[in-house]
């Protein structure tokens, strides 16, 4: 699984070099942000069901998508949020890249689920996070960055 440390080491190794000062500063920055990421992971674990339900209500409440897909969409949104939780803990996008983006995009297409519904759901979650009610500003920043990463990957 990719983390900030393994990403730097793999990149340096692939280039046949030792990690540079900027590589090490990148790892240090990841460690410095670790408390905010861990807070976001903890709060996401608490609010994951609420985030999923609220996003589904927003997206499917408008009537723009078939209600028959709502349960599958709920399952997948919950799955993606769990992967984001893992990313927050590891400090890298590895869990999303390896288990979410590559494989799930094909599952969504194979089941004829509307990718736009997922994107709308994640945008809704990103834009409706209550700071400081649900998590602190730094934690929300870390969480939103991963949501943006996912949104861009699905788009």
Annotated binding site: 73
Structure tokens at 151: 């949104």
- Which residue blocks in the chain are alpha helix, DSSP H? 4-14, 21-32, 34-61, 70-90, 94-95, 102-110, 115-127, 137-154
- As annotated, the binding site for (2R,3E)-phycocyanobilin includes 73
Please identify which residue in the block is written with the tokens 């983006």: 101
| CB distance 58 to 120 below 8 Å | yes
Dihedral, CA of residue 24, residue 29, residue 35 and residue 39, to nearest 10:
-120
Region of 66 please: left (phi>0), alpha (psi -120 to 50) or beta.
Answer: beta
3 state SS of 91: coil
């Amino acid at each position: 699984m990719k983390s900030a440390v393994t990403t730097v080491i793999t990149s340096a190794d692939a280039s046949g070099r030792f990690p540079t000062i900027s590589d090490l500063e990148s790892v240090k920055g990841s460690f410095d942000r670790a408390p905010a990421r861990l807070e976001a992971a903890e709060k996401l674990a608490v609010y994951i069901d609420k985030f999923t339900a609220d996003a589904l209500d927003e997206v499917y409440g408008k009537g723009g998508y078939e209600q028959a897909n709502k349960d599958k969409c709920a399952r997948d949104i919950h799955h993606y949020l769990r992967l984001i939780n893992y990313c927050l803990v590891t400090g890298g996008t590895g869990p999303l890249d390896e288990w979410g983006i590559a494989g799930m995009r094909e599952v969504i297409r194979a089941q004829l689920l509307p990718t736009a519904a997922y994107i709308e759901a994640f945008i809704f979650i990103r834009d409706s996070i209550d700071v400081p009610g649900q998590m602190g500003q730094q934690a929300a920043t870390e969480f939103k960055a991963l949501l943006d990463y996912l949104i861009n990957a699905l788009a």
